[in-house]
Structure 1
């Protein structure tokens, strides 16, 4: 059975004019990378856990704030070349949220208390383990700018969002 993750994609605007909130992966490996180094906030679905509950939990763990409430649109399940499956849900947020004190976007997520970390070997093959934030920043991008930034397996999600919000 493939590994299944749940993701929550926040957006504002509709169709091709939509903007999405994506997060840059944290740690030294990703520090100087941009294209292909961003992701929709996501994480593993625990056994017996509801997909929406998992997506909201992972959003809060990675960004350090709860996901905004609102109607959820199921964009579907997307399979990576590795076989991993990511089930993506979308929530439209009001435009006033962007740039407000309640905006989950942050140029420096590592300053937020409670964000999740992962342990990685750094430098590679050194045997030294360090804790790094899973993501280090979150930014709103127009769909077409977000596309090359996202990891390849998540790029089709943007087409699903554009179709669902047209």
Structure 2
């Protein structure tokens, strides 16, 4: 069975323009990566947890605040590595500069024996739909298209 993740695509309307919140992964692998590296706040879950509950939990872990509202199902997508992501959109607003992500530990550099702590998400940014589609993981761009079809 493929790995499964659940996530939230937070959106807002500013001056009649739709914007979406994307996050950039933390850690040494993504430090110099930009286009195609951004993602919706998401994370893995197992069959003991409901997908929407997992999406809400992951959002709070990666952003540092809970997400509430009317959740619009965006369906699922499959990423290149085979991971299946189930997503929901919800309208809301937050200060992207004030996120507080959970952390993880990683031996870095490899085989150095030195363990460093990194944020799971190192930044969040509100992007226009057009800009978001250039930044997001290419398979997740479909989620933005589905959001636009629902709310525009």
Q: Tell me how far 1:13 sits from its aligned partner.
A: 2.7
Between 118-127 and 76-85, the greater mean CA deviation after superposition: 118-127
Distance 1:144 1:124 in 2: 37
TM-score of the superposed pair, with normalisation by structure 1: 0.82
Write out the 4+ residue segments of structure 1 that deviate beyond 4 Å after TM superposition.
none
The 5 A counterparts of 1:73-112 are 73-93=72-92, 97=93, 103-106=94-97, 109=99, 112=100
Q: How many residue pairs are counted as aligned between the two chains?
A: 151
Q: Tell me how far 1:46 sits from its aligned partner.
A: 3.0
Distance 2:52 2:9 in 1: 11
1:7 alignment partner in structure 2 = 7
Distance 1:104 1:51, change over 3 A: farther
Q: How well do the aligned residues superpose, as a CA RMSD in angstroms? A: 2.0
Q: Tell me how far 1:32 sits from its aligned partner.
A: 2.4
Distance 1:72 1:80, change over 3 A: same
Deviations 1:96-139 (A, max 9, x none): x4xxxxx1512x64xx3xx3222333224545432211101111
1:146 equivalent to 2:132? Answer yes
Structure 1 residues not aligned, in runs of 5+: 98-102
Structure 2 residues not aligned, in runs of 5+: none
Deviations 1:41-96 (A, max 9, x none): 001123321111100100000111111x2111000101011110000100012xxx
